Amino acid sequence: MSEHVILWEYKPFANGWEDEAPDAVVWVDVAAFDQAWRLTDQYVLPGGANGQDDRYAKVGRWFAVNRHCQMIDATFDEGHACFVDGRHRFSWLRDQGVESLPLQVAPNLRDAFNARFQAKTLATVLRLSATPKTRT
């Protein structure tokens, strides 16, 4: 088994949003966030069975040859943890045993995310059974 640290890329706002405060980055405990997220209708089951088209499988193919990824966007919707973008990436990484990862959240949600889901470590370690070739 090989271990790989995922390098996360911050996603800046699109043109025209320069006056907005940038997103905060929070490191979350995957199990804690998953526990809260599973209460929503956007939850992706282990293995991606109820995911959208083949996105779950595409994430697996991506990480087979890459060790970087854009950050996942999350928020609260009526108090429930959910994703703006990245639920298939999160669920695939969750299913591989990843314990912590960073999320981009609105600046006013930083404290709430940290209070509920703060990770113990600030690294995303992906454990794979075979060493894939890395593509840059």
More confident residue, 130 or 133: 130
Q: What is the helix, strand, coil percentage profile of the chain, to 5? A: 30, 30, 40
Tens of pLDDT, residues 40-81: 999 999 999 899 999 999 999 999 999 999 999 999 999 999
* Residue 136 placed within a domain: no
Q: Number of folded domains in the chain?
A: 1
More confident residue, 130 or 20: 20
**What is the residue-averaged pLDDT of the chain?**
92
Helix then strand count (H, E) for the chain reads 4, 8
* Residue 94 placed within a domain: yes
Range of the domain at 43: 2-11+22-128
* Residue 54 placed within a domain: yes
By three-state DSSP, how is residue 6 classified? Answer: coil
pLDDT band at 132 (very low <50, low <70, confident <90, very high): very low
First to last CA, the chain: 22
